[in-house]
Chains A and B, each alone.
Chain A
Amino acid sequence: MSANNCRAVKVIDVKPLGHSSPDEEIIELKLEYPGWRSGWRVGQFVMIRPVSWPLDLIWGRPFSICNADDNTLTILFQVVGRGTKRLAELTTGDKVNIWGPLGSFFSKPKDRPILMLAGGMGIAPFCGYVDSHDQPENLKLFFAHRPPLENYPLNSISEKVEVEDLRETKPEDILNIIARIDELVKEYADKKGLIVACGPTPFLRTVRSASIKYGVEAELSLENRMACGVGACLGCVTKDSTGHHTQVCTTGPVFKATDISLED
């Protein structure tokens, strides 16, 4: 009845990556592919709510589609709260309700230098981005992170594209990250490149101001809190460039930097 846009699928594998400590655990979740007839695009997300969740967790949780093929859908997530903690406890064969693919997606122009800027779990959509791009030689990834690099699934990316990373271990590191983003964005402005970015809001704010300062096209994927994921509750809104509230789940999550304001 609900076609294949909302389905219960089986968990194939739940794998903690690297040697992450419990308070910064990063998990790769592999699910059965829900058989979306229309396929999916990089930057889109899914809402996940395990069938076993009792009513104390009301909402599904939104996650970027990290990658998918005919059999498997891969999600990458960090344990940050009640929901992700319980997602980490899933085991092979458990069933999860999943609805998607939702929202807008990154563009993937050919013959153009593309800079991927990822902050923390913002790395997730770029696994699929690299895999699905015809000319990975045009791509570069800059990655700002807190947990050690080995906790992220960077192998598949670094095999194909240049990766540069900066780890934040103390508050001063943030300044280095901001400075490096500024330099890189300027470089891509000179090259007439495209910037695609995903990460926490302060990270995106930095990317947004730099891209506007240097006049380079940028697409940002936002991670606002969501209840429905389908545009109904109006809980996830952000301000667009004209100051109007717009739904991140349906107008976004990927926005042109100049289309939103991201003010505090």
Chain B
Amino acid sequence: MDMSVDFAGLKLKNPILTASGTFGFGLEFKRFGNLESLGGIIVKGLSLKPREGNPMPRIAETPCGMLNAIGIQNPGVEVFLKDRLPKLPWKTLPVLVNLYATDATEFGELAKVLSTEEGVAALEVNVSCPNVKEGGIAFGQDPSQITKVAEAVKKNAGNKPVIIKLSPNVTDIATCARAAEDGGADGISLINTLSGMAVDIERRAPRLTNVIGGLSGPAVKPVALRCVFQAVNAVKIPVIGLGGISSAEDAAEFLLVGAAAVQIGTANFLSPDTAFKIAEELPKVLERVNAKSLDEFRGSLKLPK
């Protein structure tokens, strides 16, 4: 079955991408599978300047998921472009860069730096991190800010597709999706993590130094699926679905509600070959459920009358 996807002009071999922050810079996974068998990879969130991130401990395992408060630790965009990107097979593997900044202007600057980089296929804009004080979740909860950031990035991104990554921690996801579309985004991705918390009754203390973190993994899948469903029906631009996908069947569920592509996040920790396996198995799953093609299957959810 032909699995290729045209996402806002971006050609993907298949709809399987890896989620930012769960796949490093891709290089870490080279010894566990063929990177070029994926639709693309989305690298760890990058900022203009390097960031140390939050103090330890910053991860905790929770039922069917995990909490993280990494706080966008990253080496900065320059180091990425100089040391990491050249080592990736970017000519045959779409490398999408995830952006983090504290305001619309800074997002614009970051986009400008990346706009002329041949090896960067598209920009994914993180306006939804629950683990940082500035430019994080509060930002992504304000539709007017979402529009402003989308405009700033789009204006500076050259001809690179711009994807706005939304937070599920909002009352109305459809409004946020439309806000991104209004700002000129070429696509949206969702969901980022759900704001959550874990405590230890013996130490009577939070499990994360940051107290609050972002919940991800299979536990969030129903929320993610609902958000994708609502977003798909709210905008015309394509939607990338993610949140708790850990099998090819899970990926198919997101495609069924209308996602153009999907991302594999926390499941990369179940074992480092998870994304490769899902990319391999997805065509078999679609055949099993009698899909004629990816296009025929996508969005073919039958709703109750």
Give residues in A with beta carbon < 8 Å to B: 1-3, 5-6, 49, 55-60, 97, 99, 224-225, 227-238, 244-245, 250
Contacts and interface: CB of A to CB of B under 8 A. Distances in A.
Nearest to A235: B59
B263 interface: no
A58 B66 contact: yes
B83 interface: no
Contacts of A2: 32-33, 272-273, 276
Kindly name the residue among B59, B73, B280 whose own CB sees the greatest number of chain A CB atoms within 10 A. B59
Contact of A6 (B61, B217, B273): B273
A58 B61 contact: yes
Contact of B52 (A229, A233, A245): A245
B218 A55 contact: yes
25 contacts: A1-B277, A2-B32, A2-B33, A6-B272, A56-B64, A58-B61, A58-B269, A58-B270, A59-B269, A59-B270, A60-B270, A224-B56, A227-B61, A228-B22, A231-B24, A232-B23, A232-B24, A233-B59, A233-B68, A233-B70, A234-B53, A234-B70, A235-B59, A237-B53, A237-B58
A136 B217 CA distance: 47
B276 A1 contact: yes
B305 to A, nearest CB: 34
Q: Chain B at the A interface: mostly helix, strand, loop or mixed?
A: loop
B66 A1 contact: no
Contacts of A231: 24, 28
Contacts, number: 108
A250 B28 CA distance: 9
Query: Which 9 interchain pairs have the tightest Cβ spacing?
Result: A235-B59, A232-B24, A2-B273, A55-B218, A231-B28, A5-B31, A230-B28, A227-B269, A6-B273
A6 B52 CA distance: 30
Contacts of B22: 228, 232-233
A5 B28 CA distance: 12
Nearest to B37: A1
Given A58-B66, A232-B268, A234-B73, A5 B59 contact: no
A57 B61 contact: yes
Interface size, B (range): 35 or more
A59 B61 contact: yes
Contacts of B218: 55, 58
Contacts of B61: 57-59, 227
Contacts of A97: 271
A3 B70 contact: no
Contacts of A3: 31-32
Nearest to A248: B56
A229 B32 CA distance: 12
Given A1-B37, A58-B270, A227-B61, 12 more contacts: A1-B277, A2-B272, A6-B273, A55-B270, A57-B61, A99-B271, A225-B57, A227-B66, A230-B24, A232-B268, A233-B22, A234-B58
Interface in B270-303: 270-273, 276-277, 280
B280 to A, nearest CB: 7
A229 B61 CA distance: 14
A112 to B, nearest CB: 33
B24 A1 contact: no
B34 A245 contact: no
Interface in B28-66: 28-29, 31-34, 37, 44, 52-53, 56-59, 61, 63-66
A55 B66 CA distance: 11
Contacts of A245: 52-53, 73
Contacts of A237: 53, 56, 58, 73
B34 A1 contact: yes
Contacts of A6: 32, 271-273
